[in-house]
């Protein structure tokens, strides 16, 4: 039997997080031997970047633990699912690098077994056929604020339910005539528990099972049981399913050990926070609108966040994995800064993309002192020194060249480091040139540049001239015509969904720019898959659909980072929500108290109980009763903080394992100085957790305390072990006291009194600083 193991942090693909902590604990305790997860998309659309993140969590964690991650099509709705989506999902998941081995499944493969399980529930009286109409079911369910009412069909006999359900499955009824529901609790505050529907009649053609089935299981039924069937241990999903977990657990518990399901391992669901991305949308509904309105080119349009789009754009799966890693996992729903994705893409491409030159908006430059008809071949390395990869190619150089229109300015702004009349600039990998004239047309537009080259500047700078910048170029002779498709963010604002109006209002019409220009001839011989860096422009590759023919078409994968751009356009749109906690009304909390509570408050205050504690006691009857009981054994003022802060939660929950008498006995001894507060608190917490007499526990702990000599020695050791912090403290960084106390406490194994530690510490610290 294969066994999972806890990976060292250094070997993890998925950074440690709250889920891996749970898994670590499950492995340590022996609850599970092998970690099995699953990635369960519904085949009703094309996978997108959200799927990349979710699969990273499911598959990445399984990989880290040497477990398995199944790929399962969650296909329980024949109305929306199609085989082409199944193929797309398999293709895209494989592209991301996930390997599910033979563990590729369909929920629809389990229809037979799921049906048996449904009958089992019926036989046990835990499920019933409801014959209410859809509207009636809705009405009976109640609302979030009002409990539901039981359906008149809820108490049908097992026999009748079984008969009805079998006839439903046999196709005797029309859609909507009946449904199968779990009998749980129609008045549950959790809406999901109000007798969730397990099966519905659908007279639809299923893309795999055809017309074999007339009833189809709902997600809430099929999902947990599919997990169970497959031996999934940790069923990871996003936070909107938190409420569904109650149904999940209900089904697992009620079917454990039945219908061929083992008693163990049982699956458990863990939810993580959803991630969304700025400047884009992923919902199928919205994507369809973009496609159907022709705002994008199809499901694989390079501007789309679909994996097909990202792939066509030229993004590599490694970049997506790196992105997912950086985003991380937590319980909180988050919207990720698009800059993080852009960084991941650049960081992936920088070390592998050969540098070549292309001109996307050509402006002719004629070098009047360069012989007509002459053509040189200049050697140019593919990579800059910092990348450190070998390789170079020949680049033709001649009298007529193309340069980037935006690299020339008639009236250069200050700080300009490019071409300008009278200025010198380097042609990348070639000569230094001086521009003498800008030829303009009637409209005043620059149509051609004229200048000279400085012959002795190959590999060295001329003396006495300031060379401003280095610009890319392509010799007119030999240049390859090419199309460049420059992609930008699909939307103009970071949160297209937020605010009034449609997300379509925020569509960025400049998200695609198609330019005709030139690229150096060397690329003709390259592998068409090559991702290039066109120097100073960005990362590009040939579009796999349009760009691999006679005339290359290049997609810009991502621009280079541009630190020249002056004040960057700020985010126009604030986050959709402002999260400013408003100040709560202060003393009127007391005023808001009911008269009786108010009286309790006053009485407590009179007895010397602090304001905050008195308020809490006045507000909670159980606390009040407890404290009153305490007063039989000692002063309430002494007990109040402990009752409120240490015992409060347990008392409110009605499960305080420490009674008033035991508490007061402990506090009395504490007052006498038999032990310190820390000991008392720890003893109390222990008694609360595991039972026992807090006073005895405290005495045991006190007896275990370090002697004064041992403590002094320990402090010396700790100070010696942290010379840097010691120096910093003596230089005035007083906040380090907490640091030292913490270290000593840890070193003592909790067997020291922090107050005492502090005094010993300050003695030793001050002695050294004198």
State the catalytic residues: 42, 274, 284
What the block records as the tokens of 581 is 């906690």
Cβ distance to RNA smaller for residue 7 or 296: 7
C-alpha 327: how far from chain center: 5
In terms of phi and psi (left: phi > 0; alpha: psi -120 to 50; beta: otherwise), the region of 55 is alpha
DSSP code of residue 241:
G
Cβ distance to RNA smaller for residue 295 or 458: 458
Q: Identify which of 634, 703, 628, 705 has the alpha carbon closest to the alpha carbon of residue 668.
A: 634
Q: Identify which of 728, 297, 745 has the alpha carbon closest to the alpha carbon of residue 553.
A: 297
Residue 42 contacts residue 223 (beta carbons within 8 Å):
no
Q: Identify which of 38, 52, 682, 118 has the alpha carbon closest to the alpha carbon of residue 307.
A: 52
Give, in order, the Cα–Cα distances in Å from 187 to each of 76, 150, 195, 243, 286.
Answer: 27, 8, 9, 15, 36
- CA torsion 421-424-425-429 (nearest 10°) is 130
Measured in degrees and rounded to the nearest 5, phi and psi for residue 663 equal: -60, -50
Q: How many CB atoms lie within 10 A of CB 23?
A: 26
Residues 6+ apart with CB under 8 A from 407: 363, 418, 419, 471, 472
CB of 459 to RNA, least distance (A): 4
Give the three-class secondary structure for 223: helix
Question: Which helix H or strand E contains 133, and what residues bound it?
Answer: none
**DSSP letter string over 568-611?**
PPPPSS--S----PPPPP-THHHHTS-HHHHHHHHHHHHTT--H
Decide: residue 213, CB within 10 A, 0-12 exposed, 13-18 middle, 19+ buried: buried
CB of 30 to RNA, least distance (A): 20
**Residues of 670-680 as b/e, b for ≥16 C-beta within 10 angstroms?**
beeeebbeebb
Decide: residue 348, CB within 10 A, 0-12 exposed, 13-18 middle, 19+ buried: buried
CB of 272 to RNA, least distance (A): 9
First to last CA, the chain: 65
Residue 327 contacts residue 339 (beta carbons within 8 Å):
no
CB of 168 to RNA, least distance (A): 10
Q: Identify which of 664, 599, 672, 602 has the alpha carbon closest to the alpha carbon of residue 631.
A: 664
CB of 680 to RNA, least distance (A): 10
Decide: residue 709, CB within 10 A, 0-12 exposed, 13-18 middle, 19+ buried: exposed
């Amino acid at each position: 039997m294969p066994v999972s193991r806890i990976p060292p942090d250094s070997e993890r693909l998925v950074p440690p997080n709250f889920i891996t902590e749970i898994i670590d604990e499950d492995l340590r305790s022996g609850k599970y031997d092998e970690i099995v997860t699953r990635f369960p998309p519904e085949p009703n659309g094309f996978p997108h970047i959200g799927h990349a993140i979710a699969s990273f969590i499911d598959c990445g964690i399984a990989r880290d633990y040497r477990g398995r991650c199944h790929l399962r099509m969650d296909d329980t709705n024949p109305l929306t699912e199609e085989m082409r989506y199944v193929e797309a999902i398999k293709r895209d998941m494989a592209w991301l690098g996930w390997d599910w081995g033979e563990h590729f499944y369909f929920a629809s493969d389990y229809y037979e077994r799921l049906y048996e399980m449904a009958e089992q529930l019926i036989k046990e009286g835990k499920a019933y056929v409801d014959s209410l109409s859809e509207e009636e079911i809705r009405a009976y369910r109640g609302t979030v604020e009002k409990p539901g009412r039981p359906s008149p069909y809820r108490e049908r006999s097992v026999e009748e339910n079984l008969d009805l359900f079998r006839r439903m499955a046999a196709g005797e009824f029309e859609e909507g005539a009946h449904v199968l529901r779990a009998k749980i609790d129609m008045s549950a505050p959790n809406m999901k528990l109000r007798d969730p529907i397990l099966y519905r009649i659908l007279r639809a053609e299923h893309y795999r099972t055809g017309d074999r089935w007339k009833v189809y299981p709902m997600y809430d039924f099929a999902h947990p049981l599919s997990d169970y069937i497959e031996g999934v241990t940790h069923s990871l999903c996003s936070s909107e399913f938190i409420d569904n977990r109650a149904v999940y657990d209900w089904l697992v518990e009620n079917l454990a050990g039945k219908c061929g399901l083992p008693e163990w391992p049982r699956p458990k669901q863990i939810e993580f926070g959803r991630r969304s991305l700025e400047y884009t949308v992923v919902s199928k509904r919205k994507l369809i609108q973009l496609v159907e309105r022709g705002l994008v080119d199809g499901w694989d349009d390079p501007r789309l966040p679909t994996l097909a789009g990202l792939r066509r754009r030229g993004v590599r799966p490694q970049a997506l994995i790196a992105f997912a890693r950086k985003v991380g996992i937590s319980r909180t729903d988050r919207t990720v800064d698009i800059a993080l994705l852009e960084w991941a893409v650049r960081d992936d491409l920088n070390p592998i993309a050969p540098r070549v030159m292309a001109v996307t908006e050509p402006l002719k430059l004629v070098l009047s002192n360069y012989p007509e008809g002459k053509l040189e071949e200049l050697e140019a390395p593919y990579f800059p020194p910092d990348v450190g990869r070998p390789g170079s190619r020949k680049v033709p150089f001649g009298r007529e060249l193309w340069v980037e229109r935006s690299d020339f300015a008639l009236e250069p702004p200050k700080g300009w480091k490019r071409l300008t009349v009278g200025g010198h600039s380097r042609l990348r990998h070639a000569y230094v040139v001086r521009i003498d004239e800008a030829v303009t047309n009637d409209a005043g537009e620059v149509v051609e540049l004229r200048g000279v080259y400085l012959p002795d500047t190959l590999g060295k700078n001329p003396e006495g001239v300031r060379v401003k910048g280095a610009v890319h170029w392509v010799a007119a002779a030999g240049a390859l015509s090419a199309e460049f498709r420059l992609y930008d963010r699909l939307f103009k604002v970071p949160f297209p969904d937020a605010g009034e109006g449609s997300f379509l209002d925020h569509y960025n019409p400049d998200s695609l720019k198609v330019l005709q220009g030139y690229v150096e001839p060397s690329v003709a011989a390259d592998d068409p898959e090559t991702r290039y860096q066109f120097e100073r422009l960005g990362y590009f590759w040939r579009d796999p659909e349009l760009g691999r023919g006679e005339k290359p078409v290049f997609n810009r994968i991502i621009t280079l980072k541009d630190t020249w751009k002056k004040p960057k356009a700020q985010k126009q749109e604030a986050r959709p929500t402002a999260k400013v906690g408003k100040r709560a009304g202060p003393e009127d909390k007391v005023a808001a108290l009911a008269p009786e509570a108010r009286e309790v408050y006053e009485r407590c205050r009179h007895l010397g109980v602090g304001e905050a504690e008195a308020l809490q006691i006045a507000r909670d009857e159980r606390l009040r009763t407890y404290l009153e009981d305490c007063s039989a054994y000692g002063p309430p003022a002494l007990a109040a903080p402990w009752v409120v802060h240490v015992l409060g939660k347990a008392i409110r929950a009605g499960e305080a394992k420490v009674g008033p008498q035991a508490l007061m006995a402990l506090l009395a001894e504490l007052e006498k100085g038999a032990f310190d507060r820390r000991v008392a608190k720890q003893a109390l917490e222990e008694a609360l957790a595991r039972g026992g007499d807090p006073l005895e526990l405290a005495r045991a702990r006190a007896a275990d305390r370090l002697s004064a000599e041992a403590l002094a020695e320990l402090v010396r050791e700790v100070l010696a072990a942290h010379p840097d912090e010691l120096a910093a403290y003596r230089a005035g960084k007083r906040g380090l006291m907490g640091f030292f106390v913490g270290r000593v406490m840890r070193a003592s194994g909790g067997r020291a009194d922090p107050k005492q530690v502090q005094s010993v510490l300050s003695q030793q610290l001050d002695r050294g600083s004198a």
